[in-house]
């Protein structure tokens, strides 16, 4: 029998089934305890109902065995759920290294998407099935949240930093995309569609998607790098005012205060927007901040460009 309305979400990613199995496992345990407590309460209330006015209950004070039993059993079950859920969460949190990167920018009240070849779309995200996809996400204003229930994934999109989300879609089709963190007037209109396509169909869609020629993000980043005269200091030459950016992404960096940090997306972003927050050892704190001058999208493009640089630096690119 098929109901005229759904009671379950579509299952369209590799993790969806894993999440669902955990969900139904906890549901089964919960149902058992709800039925147990409800049945006991109802049975006791009926069986031990007061039969005459002066009656009192049996003189029972407690039982250590009982207390330990109903402490220990829930403890074991909840720890099982914890480890199961933690294991799943680690896999959800760590994008595979081979993932294709798509940029997402949230702003009141729309989602802007950019594909690796530079193709853009708004409130729609076309993705190929069967491929690991990592979203790098930023916000232009308040906190949003990129939620795709059919994939069982969601992640906040937070101003002032970049966040990531990954999935591997299994089933071609059209699925809901929601903003799941309240963001003001048109929050419930900040929605869209995720369209999962067969890989060939996705390639075909890319080639015919936009009117003008698409500029890949790294190339757009290179243009920004030139337009903002970044190479004046980040020339890659010995004795340059700023550090060499070639091979920087993902490397360990020593700061003036002696700390060592990994130059991940958020470090690079911060070093562009608020450069004086973490200055590399051996350099003067002279870089001007670009906060307010660059959009999140432009920062993502600059990051793509910086990641594309060979260790020799911009000059050799």
Partner 1 sequence: MSDVSQPRNSYLDAPYGLASWLLTKDHKRIAMLYLISITIFFAIGGLFAAGIRLELLTPQGDLWTSDLYNKLFTLHGVVMIFFFLVPSIPATLGNFLMPIMIGAKDLAFPRINLISWYLYIIGATVTLAAVFTGGLDTGWTFYTPYSSVSSQTAVTTAAIGVFITGFSSILTGLNFIVTTHRMRAPGMTWFRLPLFVWSNYATSLVMILGTPVIAITVLLVAAERALGLGFFDPARGGDPVLFQHLFWFYSHPAVYIMILPGMGVISELVAAMARKQVFGYSFVAFSSLAIAILGFLVWGHHLFVSSQSIYAGLVFSIITMLVAIPSAVKTFNWTATLYRGSISWQSPTWWVVGFMGLFTIGGLTGVFLGTLGLNIHLTDTYFVVAHFHYIMVGGAIMAYMGGLHFWWPKMTGRMFSDAGSKTSAVLVFVGFNLTFFPQFVLGFMGMPRRYHAYPDEWQVLNVLSSCGAGVLALGYALPLVYLTYSLFRGAAAPANPWGAKGLEWTIPSPPTTYNFEAEVRVDEPAYNYKSTREVHVG
Residues 33-52 that bind partner 1 (CB under 8 A): 33-34, 37-38, 40-42, 44-45, 48-52
Residue closer to partner 1 (CB basis): 69 or 207:
69
* Binds partner 1 by CB under 8 A, chosen from 131, 134, 161, 317: 161
Name the residue nearer to partner 1 (CB basis): 101 or 181.
181
For partner 1, the closer of residues 155 and 206 by Cβ is 155
297 touching partner 1, by CB under 8 A: no
Q: Is residue 144 within a helix (H) or strand (E), and if so which, with residue range? A: strand 144-148
Work out whether 75 is an interface residue with partner 1 (CB under 8 A): yes
Query: 148: which strand partners?
Result: 153
DSSP per-residue codes, 238-305: TT-SS---TT-TT-EEEBTTS-EEE--HHHHHHHHHSGGGSPBTTS-S-PPP-TTTS-HHHHHHHHHH
Q: Is 153 in the site for partner 1 (CB under 8 A)?
A: yes
Q: Which of 11, 14, 81, 255 binds partner 1 (CB under 8 A)?
A: 81
Query: Is the CB of 194 or the CB of 218 nearer to partner 1?
Result: 194
Q: Which stretch binds partner 1 (CB under 8 A): 79-87, 123-131, 230-238, 297-305?
A: 79-87
**The token pair that represents 94 in the structure block:** 């760590």
Strands 100-107 and 192-197: unpaired
Distances (CA, A) of 104 to 112, 138, 175: 6, 6, 17
Burial state string for 128-148 with b = 16 or more CB within 10 A and e = fewer than 16: bbeeebbbbbbbbebebbbbb
Q: Is 2 in the site for partner 1 (CB under 8 A)?
A: no
282 neighbors 272 (Cβ within 8 angstroms)? no
Binding to partner 1 in span 193-222, by CB under 8 A: none
> Which of 145-153, 210-218, 234-242, 256-264 is the region at the interface with partner 1 (rule: CB under 8 A)?
145-153
26 binds partner 1 (CB under 8 A): yes
Task: Indicate the Cα dihedral angle 120, 122, 124, 125, nearest 10°.
Answer: 40
In 183-251, which ranges are E strands?
Answer: 192-197
Give least dist CB 273 to partner 1, A. Answer: 9
Task: Report in angstroms how near the CB of residue 253 gets to partner 1 at its nearest.
Answer: 20
* String marking each residue 90-109 x if it binds partner 1 according to CB under 8 A: xxxx--------------x-
163 within 8 A of 156, measured Cβ to Cβ: yes
- Pick 232 or 291: Cβ nearer partner 1: 291
Residues 212-271 that bind partner 1 (CB under 8 A): none
């Amino acid at each position: 029998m098929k109901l005229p309305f759904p009671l379950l979400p579509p299952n369209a990613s590799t993790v969806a089934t894993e999440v669902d199995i955990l969900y139904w496992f906890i549901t089964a345990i919960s149902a058992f305890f709800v039925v147990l407590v409800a049945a006991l309460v109802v049975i006791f209330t009926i069986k031990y109902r007061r039969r005459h006015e002066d009656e009192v209950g049996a003189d029972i004070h407690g039982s250590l065995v009982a207390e330990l039993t109903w402490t220990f059993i829930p403890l074991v079950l909840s720890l099982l759920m914890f480890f199961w859920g933690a294991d799943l969460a680690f896999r959800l949190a760590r994008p595979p290294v081979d993932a294709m990167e798509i940029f997402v920018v949230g702003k009141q009240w729309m989602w802007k998407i950019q594909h690796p070849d530079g193709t853009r779309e708004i409130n729609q995200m076309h993705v190929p099935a069967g491929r690991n996809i990592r979203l790098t996400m930023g916000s232009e204003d308040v906190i949003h949240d990129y939620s795709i229930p059919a994939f069982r994934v969601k992640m906040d999109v937070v101003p002032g930093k970049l966040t990531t989300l990954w999935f591997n879609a299994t089933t071609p089709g059209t699925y809901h995309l929601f903003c799941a963190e309240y963001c003001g007037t048109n929050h419930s209109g900040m929605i869209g569609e995720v369209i999962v396509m067969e890989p060939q169909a996705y390639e075909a869609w890319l080639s015919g998607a936009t009117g003008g020629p698409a500029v890949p993000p790294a190339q757009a980043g290179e243009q920004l790098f030139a337009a903002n005269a970044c190479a004046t200091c980040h020339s890659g030459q010995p004795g340059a005012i700023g550090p060499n950016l070639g091979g920087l992404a993902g490397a360990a960096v020593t700061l003036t205060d002696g700390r060592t940090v990994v130059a991940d997306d958020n470090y690079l972003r911060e070093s562009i927007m608020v450069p004086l927050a973490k200055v590399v050892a051996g350099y003067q704190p002279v870089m001007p901040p670009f906060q307010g001058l660059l959009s999140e999208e432009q920062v993502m493009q600059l990051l793509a460009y910086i990641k594309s640089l060979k260790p020799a630096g911009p000059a050799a690119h």
